[in-house]
Amino acid sequence: MKDAKHYVYMLQCGDGTFYIGYTPDIERRLTMHEKGKGAKYTRGRGPFRLVYKKAFSTKKEAMQAEYMMKKMGRKEKKALVDGNI
């Protein structure tokens, strides 16, 4: 997607849990998580591994996808990461 400026991403935290978020700038957001300045959920759960990202052309689409992903159970999230969804 050439003009994509909105991303949904999934991190695997050091404790094995998944964190899903939205951002217009993936690299900046990952740096914030690593520095402990990201979401409260990720503080103290590093190191992080980016296991999934998807680009969208609009913020609305990205945020809708984020909402749907956050409703998924752990098995569904794992299947998404593994490319089985």
Position 85 confidence tier, pLDDT thresholds 50, 70, 90: confident
Protein fold of 6-81:
GIY-YIG endonuclease (3.40.1440)
**SS3 sequence, 10-32?**
EEECCCCCEEEEEECCHHHHHHH
User: Which strand (E) or helix (H) includes residue 64?
Assistant: helix 59-71
Position 75 confidence tier, pLDDT thresholds 50, 70, 90: very high
Give the residue extent of every domain in the chain: 6-81
Q: Which two tokens stand for residue 16?
A: 């094995």
Inform me whether the pLDDT recorded for 26 exceeds 70. yes
Start-to-end Cα distance in the chain: 20
CA gap 10, 49 in Å, rounded:
8
Q: What is the pTM of this model?
A: 0.90
Q: Which two tokens stand for residue 2?
A: 């050439």
Inform me whether the pLDDT recorded for 2 exceeds 60. no
For the segment 5-31, the average pLDDT, to the nearest whole number, is 96
How confident is the model at residue 38, as a pLDDT? 85
